[in-house]
Amino acid sequence: MRTALTIAGSDSGGGAGIQADLKSFASVGVHGTSVITCVTAQNTRSVDSIFAIPPSEIRKQLRAVLDDFDVRAAKTGMLFSAEIVRTVARELRPTSFPVVVDPVMIATVGARLERDDFQVALVDRLLDRATLVTPNRYEAERISGLSIRDVGSMEAAARAIRRLGPGAVLVKGGHLKGPLVDVFYDGHQMVRLRGRRYRKELHGAGCTLAASTAAYLALGHSLLDSVRRARRKVALGFRASYRAGRGVEIINSQIKSGR
C-alpha cells in the first residue's frame, strides 16, 4: 500500500484539517500518516482557540514518519506561523516526493488561521518546495498581490504565484460568482477546469481537494490527472455532504471515486 503524509492542524469537529485529510487518503486507497501542527477547539460554527504545537515536537513527528515510511506524496494544510513553516520546510528539503501546499489562512466559518508572519515565510521558505499550491480566491489575492474578479484575473494570479517558485498553481474559483472554474498553471499550460457549482458552503472542501490530490500523486498519477480526479471526488463530496453540527455542512471526504 502506498503512503501519503498530511502536515496540518487538528479539527476537533472532525470536518477539516488532519481528520478530513486522513479520511480522504483512506477513501482513495492509500495509507495516511500525519504530523499535527496545531490543535484547534472548533466546530461547524466557530474556531474558539488555536494551540500551536512546539516546533521541536513537529520536527520529531516529521522525522518519525520519514525515518520509517516510504512516503510517496505529502500535503500541508494549516501551518499557522513562520516558525512552523520554517521547521516543515527544513525537514522536507532533503525529500523528493511531491508536496501539495494548501495555504490555509481563513476557516470556512471566518476565523483567521495564521499569524502575521505566516505569509512571508510561506513565500520565502516553502513555495519553492511545492509541486502544487492550491489557493482559493482570497489566498491567491494575498499571495499574488492581485485583485481577482474573474477567470482572467485568476490566470494572472496563477502566473504571479508560479513565479514565486512552486511547480504548479491551482487557483480555486469557488468564491467567485458565475460558472465554477478553477485555473491550473504549471508554467507550460494554462487549463481552465470547469465544474458544477453547488450552492452551499462546506467545511473541509479545500482540505479534501489538496489531500485527495496528494493521494492520487502517491498512487503514481500525473499532476494534472491527480487534480482532475481530486476535483471529481470533491464534487461527489459536495453532493453527499451532511450536517453533523448546528453550523455549516461538512463535505463527505470519505466518498470513493476510484483509484
- CB 115 within 8 Å of CB 104: no
Q: What is the dihedral of CA 190, 196, 198, 201, to 10 degrees?
A: -10
Q: Where are the alpha helices (DSSP H) in the chain?
A: 17-28, 55-68, 82-92, 118-121, 137-144, 151-162, 205-218, 223-239
Most confident range, picked from 102-116, 132-146, 190-204 = 132-146
What is the pLDDT confidence band of residue 113, given thresholds at 50, 70 and 90? low
Work out the pLDDT band at 108, boundaries 50, 70, 90. Answer: low
Beta strand 190-195 pairing with 99-101: unpaired
The alpha carbon of residue 96 and the mean position of all alpha carbons in its chain are separated, in whole angstroms, by 19
- Band the pLDDT of 110: cuts 50, 70, 90: low
List the domain boundaries for the chain. 3-250
Please report, rounded to a whole number, the percentage of residues in the chain having pLDDT higher than 90.
Answer: 83
CA 45, 212, 70, 167 torsion-angle sign: negative
Q: pTM score, two decimals?
A: 0.95
For the stretch 234-245, pLDDT in tens is 999 999 999 999
pLDDT at 116: 73
**What pLDDT is recorded for position 178?**
83
The whole-number pLDDT of residue 175 equals 74
The pLDDT tens digits for 201-211 are 788 999 999 99
Confidence grade of residue 228 (pLDDT, cut at 50, 70, 90): very high
For residue 248, give the nearest of 6, 76, 15 by alpha carbon. 15
Average predicted confidence (pLDDT) for the chain: 93
Provide the pLDDT for residue 117.
84
Under CATH, which number does the domain 3-250 receive? 3.40.1190.20
Cell numbers found for residue 180: 465554477
Q: Under 8 Å CB-to-CB from 104, ≥6 apart: which residues?
A: 8, 9, 77, 78, 79, 113, 114, 139, 206
Q: What is the pLDDT of residue 174?
A: 78
Q: Report whether pLDDT(109) > 60.
A: no
Task: Tell me which residue of 166, 249, 253, 161 sits closest to 206, measured CA to CA.
Answer: 253
- Give the sheet arrangement for strand 3-11, strand by strand: 47-52, 31-42, 3-11, 71-76, 99-101, 132-133, 169-171, 180-185, 190-195
Q: Tell me how far apart the alpha carbons of residues 166 and 223 are, in angstroms, rounded to a whole number.
A: 13
Q: Is the pLDDT of residue 64 over 80?
A: yes
Q: Which three cell numbers stand for residue 199?
A: 450552492
